[in-house]
Structure 1
Amino acid sequence: MVMSHAPAFLSGFFLGLSLIVAIGAQNAFILRQGLLRQHVFVLCFICALSDAVLIAAGVAGLGTLIATSPRLIAIVTIGGAAFLFTYAVIAFRRALNPQAMVAANTGEGSLRAAIAACLAFTFLNPHVYLDTVVLLGSLSAQFEGAGRLAYGVGACIGSFVWFFALGYGARLLQPVFARPSAWRVLDVLIGLVMAAIGVSLLGSL
């Protein structure tokens, strides 16, 4: 099915990649966990599977429903901004004590806490819904039947490829992050990214 609808599959694959490759809350979180080598497979799988579920919902037509519910979008936006500001503060505080993160390379963080944070970064960020459900979903209208299914499959595979490449590829940077100063820079950047996304969310209301 996919091979006979290669243009639709490739369209979904590359469009999906183009939307999630940009630095965002999910990507910053996965990058950091990858550097720490903590629960990488589980967290990458959760992010990719969540995207796949949202993409499937969008291709099935849910995007139109969400786009017509300003109140729902506003609620998710405010909650997401509050969460991102909180995590930005946590990242800035970590930047003040980067030695703790170097030591944490040999430790194991709580899986439950990591999963909770991963789900929050995914479902409390309205950009996730706009990118996967609304945008990818609406663009699937250019295809019909099996072509639309191939498009959705391509977008889902793109998400899986990206998150696992980011999570496991991050360890290639570990020699750089053997120094506390590198962790300080990373956490400052993560804090800035989270705060910027939070501001942009509130500005969109």
Structure 2
Amino acid sequence: MNLFTAPAFFAGLALSLSLIMAIGPQNAHVMRMGLRREHLWLTVAICIVTDVTLIAVGVGGLAQLGGLSAKLLGAFTGAGAVLLFLYGAQAMQRFVRPAAPAGSAAASEPETAMSRRRAVGLALAMSWLNPHAWLDTAVLMGTASLAYARPDNAVFGLGAAAGSLLWFVALGVAMWSLGSRLKAPWIWRALDGLVALMMWGTALWLLAGLL
């Protein structure tokens, strides 16, 4: 990387990190899988591949085409809102009815083991049916890349992809480390309640944007 392309790379890196650090559905899902210490790195890998793909789509041409069409954006937003309502309902069910009574030995494991297929399905849904992921990566980063002429726009995209990689790996490592320490049942219930409220709030906000 020469001095001419370095600013574009670090600009993409900084924008990517600033957008991805907000606690949204995708990050919340990674956090939960990390605390469960179950299929974490598979989930992280799917999130990274999704982000990199969407960044490539945005930088490669979506921004030049004017972004997502109104109908397509509306379809993704509606599907994402439904997904968030369902996922929030599952979290609220875990909050209201824990898997084991508080204080029991089984209470440290709030759910039965998740299959690899279900873990892949949830990670794909949280990534590809998440309107925020499309807006932040394909649309916002794609539009921001227009400030750079070729080939610097591609370097900007590489920086954005590097930011996604760094964030999800760091989040995975942090949650994996905490997962071995957070065993109190009330912590799991509090996390489920927080996730449920956040998912429902995000879904309502998305639907309000369609009106």
- Which of the five TM-score ranges fits, normalised by the shorter chain? over 0.9
179 and 13 in structure 1: CA distance in 2 versus 1, 3 angstrom threshold: same
Identify the residue that residue 5 of structure 1 maps to in structure 2: 5
Q: Does the C-alpha gap of structure 1 residues 101 and 137 become closer, same or farther in structure 2, counting only changes over 3 Å?
A: farther
CA contact (8 A) 2:107 2:185 kept: yes
Check the 8 A contact 2:51/2:164 in 1, yes or no.
Answer: yes
Match in the other structure for 2:168: 163
5+ residue gaps in structure 2?
101-105
Q: 1:102 to 1:203 in 2, by over 3 A?
A: same
Unaligned runs of 5+ in 1: none
In the other structure, the counterpart of 1:109 is: 114
Mapped contact 2:34–2:179 kept (Cα < 8 A): no
**Conserved 8 A contact 1:62-1:133:** yes
Partners of 2:119 and 2:68 in 1: CA distance: 33
Per the TM alignment, residue 98 of structure 1 is displaced from its structure 2 partner at its CA by 5.4
Secondary structure of residue in 1 paired with 2:42 = helix
Q: CA deviation at 1:101?
A: 6.2
- Once residues 112 and 175 of structure 1 are traced to their aligned partners in structure 2, the CA distance between those partners, rounded to angstroms, is 24
Question: Paired residue for 1:43?
Answer: 43
> Aligned to 1:189, what secondary structure does the other structure show?
helix
CA distance in 2, matches of 1:132, 1:52: 8
The 1:196/1:69 distance shift into structure 2, 3 A limit, reads same
Distance 2:107 2:174 in 1: 19
2:22 match: secondary structure: coil
Classify 1:14/1:35 alpha carbon distance in 2 versus 1 (closer, same or farther; 3 Å).
same
**Are 2:70 and 1:70 aligned?**
yes
Question: Considering only aligned residues, what root-mean-square deviation do their CA atoms show, in Å?
Answer: 1.9
User: Aligned pair count?
Assistant: 204
Choose from 119, 122, 134 the match for 2:124.
119
Q: 1:16, 1:158 within 8 Å by CA — same for their partners in 2?
A: yes
How many Å apart are 1:104 and its aligned residue? 5.2
How far is the alpha carbon of 1:4 from its aligned partner? 4.5
TM-score computed with the length of structure 2 as normaliser: 0.90
Which residue is 2:103 aligned to? none
| Alpha-carbon displacement from aligned partner over 1:33-61 (angstroms, at most 9, x marks no partner) | 01111111111011011100000110012
Identity %: 40
Distance 1:70 1:176, change over 3 A: same
How far, CA to CA, are the matches of 2:80 and 2:130 in structure 1? 5
- C-alpha displacement of 1:153: 0.4
In 1, Cα distance between equivalents of 2:85 and 2:66? 25
Q: How far apart are residue 66 of structure 1 and its match? A: 6.3
CA contact (8 A) 2:35 2:180 kept: no
Residue in structure 2 matching 1:137, options 128, 131, 142: 142
Asked if the contact 1:21–1:162 (Cα under 8 Å) also holds between the matched residues in 2, the reply is yes
Alignment partner of 2:114: what SS? coil
Structure 1 residues 117 and 187 mapped into 2: Cα distance closer, same or farther (>3 Å)?
same
TM-score after normalising by structure 1 = 0.92
Any conservation in 2 of the 1:64–1:134 contact (CA below 8 Å)?
no
